[in-house]
Chains A and B, each alone.
Chain A
Amino acid sequence: MPKALVDLLTVVLNGVTLAALYFVVASGFTLIFGLMRTTNMAHGSLYMLGAYVGVSAYDATGNWLAALVIGFAALAVVGGAIHLGLLSRMAGQDLRQALVTIGLSIIIGDLLLAKYGGLTYQIAPPAFAAGSVAIPFVVNGTYSAYRLFMIGAAVAVYGSLWLVLNRTRIGWYIRAGIDDRDMLSALGVNVSRVFLFVFALGAGLAGLSGVIGATALSISPSEDGRYLLSSLVVVIVGGMGSLEGAVIGALIIGLSEQIGLFYAPTYSIFITFVIMAAVLAIRPQGLLGRPA
């Protein structure tokens, strides 16, 4: 097999595995926006908080799965508190909500810096996904087992969310709420409880993705902005509020980032934003988004 083709296949695989991480991070963000029209500008900070909670939990238990569960649960609680304490008081005011969450992200980032300092932390992958596995057609003939596992994790998150949305009562409420919020409350559903559930779930997913990301890469201060931006771009390209859109957006961004890094490293990050601007200029609501 010619080297150029091996290179391309490897880079595509790099892009798909990165897209898996981006999807898990963005899924909570798009869920919250879809139902509540809340642009949670603290989503990256929740990712970072989840990652640090995961680091502490892993230190205490030595168990990756425990760290993952604790990261999810802790952030679901934090998300619930943010929703009840702040955002539910300004329901329907998109800009004010976005501004409050900007303020929150400044505070969370600074307090995490105080607690964990500037050092880099990493969580060891679980035994079943440690090291590298031999697969043909990639550079060097081996590939990271954990990165392949991330694809599975993303599929699992997508599948679980799909089941919740399509096979449960609360999922039915959520989908109805995305289509028509007024109708939902007219039907006598306790909308505020549905909102609380969704916000906690979205924040929990941010925490979960923080643990997954801190294992694949690492966690250190000021990664909040980076994951907020990636979530925004993924969700906006795909269409805000759409889970399938987030899948497509994550693939486009993950692939463009890695292909760019390989073939044109100097402008690799810039390319991502060109794609986003181009999509929005042509289709303002994103690829799979519906007009609001």
Chain B
Amino acid sequence: MFGARTGRGLVGLMFVASIAAAACGGSAAGDKIIKIGGLATLEGPFAVPGQDGFRGIEQALSTMGKKLDNGNWQFDGFQVQLLKEGSDATPAVALEKAKKLIEQNNVDILIGPLSGDEGLAIKDYAKTVPDKTFVNGSSAAQDTTFRAPAPNFFRFSTDGAQWMAGLGKYAFDKKGYKNVALVAEDYSFPYTQVGGFMYEFCAAGGHVVQKNWVPLGTKDYSSVVSNLPTSGIDAIYVALGGSDAVNFFTQYNQAGGKAKFIGGSITVDQSVLATKGAFQDILAGTIAAGPTADTATDKAWLDYVAEYHKEFKDGLPFPGLFALSYYNETVGVIKGLQAVKGDLSGKQASFMAALAKVEFDGPTGHVKLDANRQAISSNYVTEVQKAADGSLQNNVITKADNVDQTLGLGASSPYLAQPVSRDFPACP
């Protein structure tokens, strides 16, 4: 019976080891320590945004508090300890890591996750842990707060539809685009972005004549390019990110395409513009929208960027929307903690009540929460333009303040009657 016996011996050893490890998890005495768990993506294509998200958390803590030698941050009457976990952008792993932070590390507040489907999973999990506070990271699915929200889930960042605020109107009114075709990855974040664009664009009278939903994992877009109409459209709306955007633009360029582009919030961001390649020639004039604009000139934004560069020598050229989202979430949390002087007693009820009332002026504008604990804040419409040195940059065209989750349409609008999907909304 040795095989089974040694196997059993090992099982026994593991018990001892695990009991010992569990016993080591005690907390230090002294000033009251609030444990905050940070959750972002550290594996796969979203690893870089994930690192930037963590920079956002740390920058907010360092700006508002004082970093101590023990790695914590000191605030008036309490300390904050940050524990970080990485996911791989799948809901299953995000849940595992969230459970680890909440149940093993006993964090009081969780900030995260990064991507939309993870956010939906965490919201559902939040409902089962009513005595802990969940604050979003940068995940931007509409229904994380819009339909069936969790009472202990807060989002101080705007969602993927809000990130499109102003774009549909600008495309129709100012650019004169009446008919567009769209190319987007086939999952919930692009659905939300396309929805946000179409709310305004369709309401203004525009038509989306063709939708190309491209399965995740597709790298060769040549037949998607071949499928695009060569006449009868004024522009192509592209909601792709990272390498997918690079691949699509490259192949569209190589196929000799000449259309104008409208971009999603991560379609023409720094990660795409920084990739050298001939495809860049066709990007000038692309309009897009999002919660950040690299070349914004508001003082709060410039201060924020300067602080970011001072704090992180290895940071990106500009803090992107992921850094900003995590930054704003963390600012909201600290303001809430300050309002109750770090008192989380009573199953955090008074803290959550204070958190729901938090308002502040962030780097890009005023931030406040609606009845579903969802941010109402600012958004930019940008245009890709050639800078003096020949490089491409996103310049601010317009900025909208106090954008709510319905983009001003009201919750009873027919455009919000259903969750966004492949087929909804539609205005062919």
Contacts and interface: CB of A to CB of B under 8 A. Distances in A.
Interface in A90-148: 113, 117-122, 124-125, 130-132, 138-147
A39 interface: no
B48 A118 contact: yes
B218 A261 contact: yes
A38 interface: no
Given A120-B275, A269-B215, A140 B186 contact: no
Interface in A1-43: 7, 10-11, 14-15, 17-18
Given A120-B243, A120-B246, A258-B220, A139 B47 contact: no
Interface stretch (A182-190, A218-226, A280-288): A218-226
B215 A266 contact: yes
B220 A122 contact: no
Interface residues of A, number: 46
Contacts of B275: 119-122, 218
B222 A147 contact: yes
Interface in A32-83: none
A221 B45 CA distance: 6
A271 to B, nearest CB: 11
B230 A139 contact: yes
A292 interface: no
A222 B44 contact: yes
Given A119-B271, A140-B230, A266-B213, A258 B47 contact: no
Contacts of B257: 140
Interface residues on chain B, size class: 35 or more
A138 B243 CA distance: 26
Interface in A208-261: 217-223, 226, 257-259, 261
Contacts of B48: 117-119
Interface stretch (B97-105, B248-256, B297-305, B412-420): B248-256
A262 interface: yes
A22 to B, nearest CB: 10
Contacts of A144: 222, 251, 254-255
A268 interface: yes
Contacts of A17: 222
Contacts of A152: none
B226 A18 contact: no
Contacts of B350: none
A132 B257 CA distance: 10
A147 B251 CA distance: 10
Contacts of B220: 14, 18, 217, 257-258, 261
A15 B220 CA distance: 10
A268 B223 CA distance: 11
Contacts of A217: 219-220, 243, 247, 250-251
B46 A10 contact: no
Nearest to A227: B219
A146 B49 CA distance: 32
A124 B45 contact: no
B272 interface: yes
Contacts of A226: 217, 219
A107 to B, nearest CB: 14
B250 A122 contact: yes
A262 B316 CA distance: 37
A259 B224 CA distance: 10
A118 B49 contact: yes
A265 interface: yes
Contacts of A219: 243
Interface in B34-53: 43-49
A119 to B, nearest CB: 6
B254 A147 contact: yes
A234 to B, nearest CB: 14
Contact of B226 (A11, A120, A132, A218): A11
Contacts of A145: 254
Contacts of A118: 44-49, 242, 271
Contact of B243 (A11, A131, A218): A218
Given A130-B278, A222-B44, A10 B226 contact: yes
Given A118-B49, A140-B256, A266-B213, A218 B278 contact: no
Contacts of A261: 214, 218, 220, 223-224
Nearest to A267: B215
B345 interface: no
Contacts of B186: 265-266
Contact of B218 (A15, A120, A268): A268
B243 A269 contact: no
B346 interface: no
Nearest to B213: A265
Given A146-B254, A218-B243, A14 B226 contact: yes
Contacts of A119: 48, 271, 274-275
A125 B272 CA distance: 18
B81 interface: no
Contact of B277 (A14, A113, A124): A124
Given A122-B276, A124-B278, 11 more contacts: A11-B226, A14-B222, A113-B47, A119-B274, A120-B246, A131-B254, A138-B226, A139-B230, A145-B254, A258-B222, A259-B223
27 contacts: A11-B223, A14-B220, A14-B226, A15-B223, A18-B220, A113-B47, A119-B274, A120-B243, A120-B271, A122-B277, A124-B277, A132-B254, A140-B230, A142-B255, A144-B254, A145-B254, A146-B254, A147-B222, A218-B243, A222-B45, A223-B243, A258-B220, A261-B214, A261-B220, A262-B226, A266-B215, A268-B218
Interface of B: 43-49, 186, 212-215, 217-220, 222-224, 226-227, 230, 242-243, 246-247, 250-251, 254-257, 271-272, 274-279
